[in-house]
Amino acid sequence: GESVGLHLPTLSVQEGDNSIINCAYSNSASDYFIWYKQESGKGPQFIIDIRSNMDKRQGQRVTVLLNKTVKHLSLQIAATQPGDSAVYFCAENMAGANSKLTFGKGITLSVRP
């Protein structure tokens, strides 16, 4: 979900388990969604995207699910590894000449060895 305080919400998972990171987006007109990963001291890195004409998209060890009815996006990471520890952002956009990505505030994923 989204963070409204000074500290990001944290998801702690055991190494090897699956992780599910959730995001509620705000604009029902959004038709393009992206998950980014940000490691400490680095810029956000593209993980996976999905367009509104799809409900699910799979990448390498990651799956994004989109539920347009409840405006919900999730990122599933299979067999979570220590290198997956980072802040994860969802972003939404809609097609248009002057449209810009809107980012969620992020969720920290912490992987326990």
Chain positions contacting another protein, by CB under 8 A: 3, 5-8, 32, 34, 36, 41-46, 49, 89, 91, 93-101, 103-106
Closest contact distance (angstroms) between CB of 58 and another protein is 17
* C-alpha Rg value of the chain to the nearest Å: 14
Closest contact distance (angstroms) between CB of 93 and another protein is 4
Which residue shows structure tokens 């809609």?
94
Residue number with CB closer to another protein (32 or 71)? 32
Q: What angle do CA 106, 18, 77 make, to 5 degrees?
A: 50
Residue number with CB closer to another protein (18 or 99)? 99
Residue number with CB closer to another protein (78 or 101)? 101
